[in-house]
Structure 1
Amino acid sequence: MTSSNPMAITTETAIHYDIEQAVRDRYSAGAQAPQAALCCPTDGYDGRYLKILPEEIITKDYGCGDPTRYVQAGEVVVDLGSGAGKNCYIMAQKVGAEGRVIGVDMNDEMLALARKYQATIGDQLGYHNVNFVKGKIQDLALNLDQLQAWLNQHPVQSIADLAALETEGDRLRREAPLIATSSVDVVVSNCVLNLVKPQDKNQLFQEIYRILKRGGRAVISDIVCDEPPTDVILNDPDLWSGCIAGAFLESEFLQRFEAAGFYGVEILARQEQPWQVIDGIEFRSLTVQAYKGKEGPCLDRNQAVIYKGPWKAVQDDDGHTLLRGERMAVCEKTFQLYTDPNGPYAHDFIPVLPQTEVPRDSAPVFNCSRDSLRHPRETKGVDYRATLPSAGDCCEPGNCC
């Protein structure tokens, strides 16, 4: 799937400060004392999961949504920009002893705060399933603690030393990645993606996609705006570190998931009233869910789906039009995406399987230019002439009248 809106989304405004340093300084201060203006307050967390959390973690949590509510038992979860660890410790309870939570942050003070209570909370739960690692969320293969350990032994004093540092970074990404490829069920983040530099945001979404397993999903809460931030806003380091200047355009936020290869991109929550309005531009929280897993060949196994409605027709991310009530021909891959009970589409479609299964190893390539309707004889077979009695006294599941 590719977006009709090419994702070369960058800002042309020259930014006259170090974005990463501004973010690091602001959140270092936020680890020392609560920052009331840092991101928008979030209500609605399930109080059951807050009972074991120290007050320090709760008061020094900065976010704009609650992606934790979408995590399930047994899952492996990565939290991008985990900060004080509040979301990680909530999810630790939700995924249970069979699950695992990894918090990623680049800020030493925040990591120290999150790790401070790690053993105590694990003892209270009866299991230890949370780990906090140091890394940049746009480079999830590079373990910054390991790179720092190497740097301590090999200080950079020349261009040759700098080249050696870069080589070591490449080696660590390849041989000891911070987060391995296709190793995670869910990636969550709470008001952190906007803090990344504009030139790194494409890589950020590619990294989220890389670490997810096939069928995995991203659930991201972040700040979006209804108009592009002005040059004045972009060049205010307090507004960048305060989750304003780096906000995504609302439509752009969803397009970035699509451009990275995700499907089933969906808005789960949208703040009705803006969190802030600056120069007439509205900034609000948005929570988006997106799935990974549409790679692979398109094989024709005589499968079809029926779109249930309520719309007369809908268009999927690949540009296929699905007509309400019609048997729509789909390839094997699309059939699985539409009917996966754990995916985003299953409640919208009725699967139609062929009378005789077409073996996968002999299935032809699906012809995407063919008529989109699947004739019943394709499903049943051209020579199908069976006459069958009623299967029972009732044609409707449940009670008969």
Structure 2
Amino acid sequence: MPPEVIERDYGCGDPSKYLRAGETVLDLGSGTGKICFIAAQVVGPTGRVIGVDMTDEMLKVARTNAPVVAERIGYANVEFRKGRIQDLALDLVKLDEELQVRPITNAALFVQADGVAQKLRLKHPLVGDESVDVVVSNCVLNLVEPKSKRQLFGEIFRVLRKGGRAVISDIVSDEEVPEDLQNDPELWSGCISGALTEEGFLRSFNDAGFYGIQILKRDEKPWQTVEGIEFRSVTVEAFKGKQGPCFERNQAVIYRGPFKAIAATYAGEGNITQGGINMGSVSKVSHRALTEAFDEPLTRAQVMAIVSPFIRRATSTPA
């Protein structure tokens, strides 16, 4: 790893350790590219890594070092794009090009520029719908202003393929951050002002449509304590499943446990019990860790194949 990349890294976790070979990965707020370069080695030559950042200085460092890393690992599978993580559809390079041709000099041109931006989102998105397997981020989501947080989580959901997941390391608080701390510029840059509560962070994934939300890592020791409020690092994993209604296909599965029942809130309807479940709901459960908790019932032919030797033996035994 080039020293310049490491020296200017400000992360609070390591989501790259949860990646797998062959995956397409999107890193939000990629900075100088540290997580991207680590991810490139994890996903291997069959995988792909995309870093998104809006800071020209950081992008310059990342792009300068990308060929260096590629030469060392033997393949090039990383690219860096300029954009805001709460608006992953808008390519800021393309917008800059448009504004060079039509600079904003009055209100009418400002309105026109907004239309140009929307056209770019639709025709030339920075990151397309359902185009990546994993979204990662390392201590960046808290830097997004509160009013854009909902849009941010919605964008993460949008770009993930069905069955994809988000693995996000970030700073959370144990209490709501008061307004005076939110308005402190120094605390903003220190990942304090924009931190969500731990509960609010998890709820944001749920509200965006994710399921299977779990904390992979949580630092017990606070990273910082400001005015009695504890701020710590967490790494959360959340999955994107099927959207839309479920349909009866006259199929069922048997839940094997370990719990008596599971409320299928992530599926949007019904309960999963040991007595079976509608297959439409189960089809939303795409994560391997969940699907392994179910068995498909045997067909009549499968049952007969198992018991028929015993039936023949019983009927042929003399009285």
After TM superposition, is the score higher than 0.5?
yes
Aligned equivalent of 1:336: 283
Would you say the 8 A contact 1:337–1:345 is kept in 2? no
Distance 1:390 1:191, change over 3 A: farther
Kindly tell me: are residues 356 and 162 of structure 1, through their superposed partners in 2, closer, same or farther at Cα, counting changes over 3 Å?
Answer: farther
The residue number in structure 1 matching 2:254 is: 305
The amino acid that maps onto 2:255 is I
| Contact 1:305 1:330 survives alignment (8 Å) | no
Partner of 2:308: 388
Q: Distance in 2 between matches of 1:75 and 1:288?
A: 18
How far apart, in 2, do the equivalents of 1:94 and 1:319 lie? 37
Counterparts of 2:138 and 2:122, CA distance in 1: 28
Amino acid at match of 1:351: D
Q: Distance in 1 between matches of 2:98 and 2:45?
A: 34
Alignment-derived partner of residue 175 in structure 2: 227
2:290 paired with 1:345: yes
3-state DSSP of counterpart to 1:288? strand
Write the mapping of 1:111-190 to structure 2, written as runs, cut at 5 A.
Answer: 111-190=59-138
| Structure 1 residues 286-297: aligned runs within 5 Å | 286-297=234-245
C-alpha distance in 1 between matches for 2:222 and 2:64:
35
**Deviation (angstroms), 1:155:** 1.0
Distance 2:207 2:200 in 1: 10
Kindly state the Cα deviation for residue 322 of structure 1 after the two structures are TM-superposed. 3.8
Please state if 1:245 is matched with 2:193.
yes
The 1:390–1:156 alpha-carbon spacing in structure 2 relative to 1, beyond 3 Å, is farther
Q: Distance in 1 between matches of 2:45 and 2:62?
A: 19
1:122 alignment partner, SS class: helix
User: How many Å apart are 1:66 and its aligned residue?
Assistant: 0.7
What is the alpha-carbon distance in structure 1 between the residues aligned to residue 94 and residue 310 of structure 2?
69
Amino-acid identity (%):
47
Deviation at 1:266, TM superposition (A): 0.9
Higher helix share: 2
Q: Report the residue type matching 1:253 in the other structure.
A: F
Q: Distance in 2 between matches of 1:92 and 1:275?
A: 28
**Do the aligned partners of 1:93 and 1:125 also contact (CA within 8 Å) in 2?**
yes
Inter-partner Cα distance in structure 1 for 2:75 and 2:251: 48
Q: Secondary structure at the match of 2:104?
A: coil
Give the deviation of 1:312 after TM superposition.
3.8
Q: Equivalents in 1 of 2:309, 2:185: separation in Å?
A: 75
User: Could you state the TM-score of these two structures normalised by the residue count of structure 2?
Assistant: 0.90
Per the alignment, in what secondary structure is the counterpart of residue 203 of structure 2? helix
2:230 maps to which of 282, 286, 294: 282
Q: Does the CA contact (< 8 Å) of 2:271 and 2:277 recur in 1?
A: no
Aligned partners of 1:93 and 1:67: how far apart in 2?
A: 14
Deviations 1:34-65 (A, max 9, x none): xxxxxxxxxxxxxxxxxxx1111111111111
Post-superposition offset of 1:128? 1.0
Query: In structure 2, how many angstroms separate the alpha carbons of the residues matched to 1:146 and 1:220?
Result: 28
Give the drift of 1:123.
1.7
Aligned residue pairs: how many?
307
CA distance in 2, matches of 1:356, 1:194: 55
Q: Scaled by the length of structure 1, what TM-score is found?
A: 0.72
Q: Which amino acid aligns with 2:308?
A: L
